[in-house]
């Protein structure tokens, strides 16, 4: 396709999505759930087709020397099909809040003021690897009464086309327009450039992928963007931490899955936490083949430590590497997170209620945790069904973005003919 043809194609897709959004917002909860149920059934029936198409993408990824983290994100297996299905089931089960009125007040003038939750309208989703996002985004968009335009990465094109076909079939079975959920079929990057110009049709852009992709989208988009750039998540082990909780949460946060944005990349440990316990945690990480890059004090405790450079404190590794620093106080830990963190997810391990309270109040991240693995920073784990992304911006959507993040509130004002004097 020429650039001119791509521009025409994108405009046509966006026009169709805007038209479909008018239908999407009128559907009852029963109708929306019926579409989601159909997608669940088709995922079960057609999973072997999905596996075959995904295998093509994985083979191409290996051939193109993609990182292990990216290949892991790309992979679809039985477990991930089950995860998609469970996510859709959870979305179905969430009580419908669309067009519900809240915050009612009667003013002295006689007017009644309320707020009503309404769909955003048209969502543009741009993402890399992770073909499961195609299903998560479709389910959340349907349930929230929106239409959505999906643009996955070229590395997942075969998987995304197979999943998109399932979604289209489900929409048709339910007598719904297929332009309610559309996948951009071209992998030409011009399509993204044109998509970001369509502020007449698209209400919000949600990017998911690498830092450079999200920076590029944020700088080029004429449309508001819900985003997070990276996930430099911290675990802080306080002086009053329980050892078992500390080692379990540290290992799970770092090693349960490396190539995800809620994996811990930095470990801060209070200097008063017993050295024998620090050593056991570092040895356990090492036994999980995690490379430790640490400060001088860390190196004095664990000899295999590689000296950390300044850039290590900022890094989202997405691989078996962790930056470790021994800190003198909770103040230093909070200051370190403020300077080097990404405002994604940070956890404190402590039995001290005062320390817990300070950490929760003073660490300015979208998710802050107490005695909990950072890996729980996830829409499904938060009971949202799934997430369309994570926002570290200070807007209506912050943290994992589920159904409420895909809606907003408008004021509804009623009276018995009151006029203003």
The residue extents of the domains of the chain are 3-227, 233-376
Give per-residue pLDDT as tens, 7-57. 999 999 999 999 999 999 999 999 999 999 999 999 999 999 999 999 999
* pLDDT(229) > 80: no
CATH class of 233-376: alpha beta
> Residue 220, exposed/middle/buried by CB under 10 A (0-12, 13-18, 19+)?
middle
What's the average model confidence in pLDDT over 316-337? 97
**What is the reported pLDDT for 205?**
96
**What is the reported pLDDT for 397?**
83
What's the average model confidence in pLDDT over 203-229? 90
Average of per-residue pLDDT values in the chain: 95
Contacts 24+ apart (CB under 8 A), 191-195: 191/6, 191/9, 191/10, 191/151, 192/126, 192/151, 192/217, 193/220, 194/6, 194/7, 194/10, 194/11, 195/10, 195/14, 195/124, 195/126, 195/149, 195/151
Give per-residue pLDDT as tens, 176-205. 999 999 999 999 999 999 999 999 999 999
Tell me the pLDDT band of 402, cut-offs 50, 70 and 90. confident
Give per-residue pLDDT as tens, 97-124. 999 999 999 999 999 999 999 999 999 9
Task: Enter the CATH code of domain 3-227.
Answer: 3.40.605.10
**What is the reported pLDDT for 394?**
77
């Amino acid at each position: 396709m020429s650039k001119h043809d791509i521009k025409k194609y994108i405009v046509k897709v966006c026009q169709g999505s805007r038209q479909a959004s008018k239908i999407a917002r009128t559907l009852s909860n029963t109708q929306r759930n019926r579409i989601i149920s159909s997608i669940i059934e088709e995922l079960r029936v057609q999973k072997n087709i999905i596996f075959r198409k995904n295998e093509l993408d994985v083979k191409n990824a290996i051939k193109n020397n993609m990182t292990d983290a990216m290949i892991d994100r790309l992979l679809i297996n039985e477990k991930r099909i089950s995860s998609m299905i469970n996510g859709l089931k959870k979305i179905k089960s969430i009580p419908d809040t669309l067009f519900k009125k809240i915050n009612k007040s009667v003013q002295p003038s006689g007017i009644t003021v309320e707020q009503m939750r309404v769909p955003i309208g048209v969502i543009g989703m741009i993402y890399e690897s992770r073909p499961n996002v195609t299903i998560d985004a479709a389910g959340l968009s349907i349930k929230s009464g929106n239409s959505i335009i999906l643009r996955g990465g070229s590395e997942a094109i075969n998987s995304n086309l197979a999943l998109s076909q399932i979604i289209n079939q489900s929409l048709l079975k339910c007598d719904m327009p297929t332009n309610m959920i559309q996948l951009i079929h071209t992998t030409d990057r011009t399509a993204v450039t044109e998509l970001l110009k369509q502020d007449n049709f698209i209400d919000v852009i949600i990017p998911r992928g690498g830092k450079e992709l999200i920076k590029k989208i944020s700088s080029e988009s004429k449309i508001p963007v819900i985003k997070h750039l990276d996930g430099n998540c911290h675990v802080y082990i306080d002086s009053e931490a329980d050892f078992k909780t500390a080692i379990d949460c540290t290992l799970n946060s770092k090693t349960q899955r490396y190539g995800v944005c809620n994996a811990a990349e930095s470990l801060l440990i209070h200097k008063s936490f017993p050295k024998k316990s620090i050593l056991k945690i570092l040895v356990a990480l090492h036994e999980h083949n995690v490379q430790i890059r640490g400060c001088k004090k860390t190196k004095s405790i664990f000899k295999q430590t590689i000296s950390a450079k300044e850039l290590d404190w900022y890094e989202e590794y997405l691989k078996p590497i962790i930056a470790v620093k021994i800190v003198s106080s909770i103040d230093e830990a909070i200051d370190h997170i403020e300077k080097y963190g990404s405002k994604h997810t940070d956890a404190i391990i402590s039995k001290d209620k005062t320390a817990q309270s300070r950490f929760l109040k003073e660490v300015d991240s979208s998710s802050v945790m107490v005695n909990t693995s950072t890996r729980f920073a996830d829409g499904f784990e938060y009971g949202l069904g799934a997430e369309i992304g994570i926002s570290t911006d200070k807007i209506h959507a912050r943290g994992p973005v589920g159904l409420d993040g895909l809606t907003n509130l408008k004021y509804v004002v009623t009276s018995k003919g009151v006029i203003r004097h």
